Structures are given as structure tokens and as C-alpha cells.
């Protein structure tokens, strides 16, 4: 009686291991798209006039509201994001007219601090916020 020889099917073993890995690699990229950045819609500089004081097209009508001032220390806004979100939620819960929060930022603050404030607005679902570029340069959340 003749012994049967074992047949080693190497290409089949390679495809058994390689094809699922290829599908996993390319499928993962389609399911989880890579995040590259954040869209910032910064409006053009507005030329102010006497008409600006009577309409709500600029920040001048919001300037005299009651704002709670929160100092944003340079390069530490990311550690304080939970505090900012809770303050924004408190502002929304009070539901008072002509109130808001003024986040005091200055030249020592980084771009990361600014982005963290925008993230805090998104987390707290605060719809109305902006930056006073004309006079103070502070970040405002108005209610």
C-alpha cells in the first residue's frame, strides 16, 4: 500500500490570512472617517454706523447686558472645560433675558484655548456666542 503524501497548499493559506486583513484595513477607513479639522465661520469685518446702534446686526446692542466674567488662564482652558460647560448650563437653566457669560481672553491665550471655548459651546448646546473683535477681544455667550 502506498502512503498518501500531504499536500501543502501555500497560496490558499496566504489568501486565508491576507484577504480578511485587507478587508479589515480598508473597511475600517470607510466606517471611521478621519477628522482633520474644525470649520470656523468667522464673519467679515463690519463697518459700524449709527444704524448699527438701533439694529441687532452688530455687538453694540449686546454690550450693556449683565455678563458673568470668567477669566480664562493661558493654556489651561482644556483642563477647565467641564467648569465652562456647567456655567453655560446654569445660564441656560436660569433663562433670564439679557444675560450671558464673558470669557476674558487676552494675547497670552493660545489658539487651543479659543477652540476649547467653542467646544464648550457645542457640548452645552449654546447656540448664541461670539467674539467682540472691535473693542475687548473677549469671547461672549449670550442668552
pLDDT band at 83 (very low <50, low <70, confident <90, very high): very high
Distance in angstroms (rounded) separating the CA atoms of residues 143 and 126 = 8
Task: State residue 11's pLDDT score.
Answer: 79
Lowest mean pLDDT among 31-35, 53-57, 100-104, 105-109: 53-57
3-state secondary structure of 130: strand
> What grid cell was written down for 38?
474644525
Task: State residue 46's pLDDT score.
Answer: 54
Average pLDDT over residues 66-89: 89
Average pLDDT over residues 110-117: 88
Higher pLDDT among residues 74 and 57, named by residue: 74
Distance in angstroms (rounded) separating the CA atoms of residues 36 and 31 = 15
- Determine contact, residues 84/113, Cβ cutoff 8 Å: no
- Which domains, ranges and CATH numbers included, belong to the chain? 59-142 (3.30.1370)
Indicate if the pLDDT at residue 86 is higher than 90.
yes
Task: State residue 49's pLDDT score.
Answer: 56
Q: In the β-sheet with 66-71, what is the strand arrangement from edge to edge?
A: 66-71, 99-104, 139-142, 129-131
Amino acid at each position: 500500500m502506498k502512503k498518501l503524501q500531504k499536500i501543502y497548499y501555500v497560496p490558499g493559506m496566504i489568501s486565508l490570512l491576507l484577504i480578511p486583513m485587507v478587508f479589515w484595513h480598508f473597511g475600517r477607513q470607510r466606517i471611521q472617517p478621519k477628522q482633520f479639522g474644525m470649520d470656523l465661520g468667522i464673519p467679515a469685518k463690519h463697518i459700524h454706523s449709527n444704524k448699527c446702534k438701533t439694529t441687532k446686526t452688530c455687538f453694540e446692542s449686546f454690550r450693556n447686558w449683565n455678563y458673568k466674567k470668567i477669566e480664562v488662564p493661558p493654556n489651561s482652558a482644556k483642563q477647565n472645560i467641564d467648569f465652562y460647560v456647567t456655567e453655560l448650563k446654569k445660564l441656560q437653566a436660569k433663562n433670564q433675558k439679557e444675560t450671558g457669560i464673558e470669557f476674558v481672553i487676552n494675547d497670552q491665550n493660545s489658539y487651543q484655548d479659543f477652540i476649547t471655548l467653542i467646544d464648550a459651546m457645542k457640548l452645552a448646546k449654546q447656540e448664541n456666542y461670539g467674539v467682540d473683535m472691535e473693542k475687548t477681544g473677549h469671547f461672549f455667550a449670550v442668552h
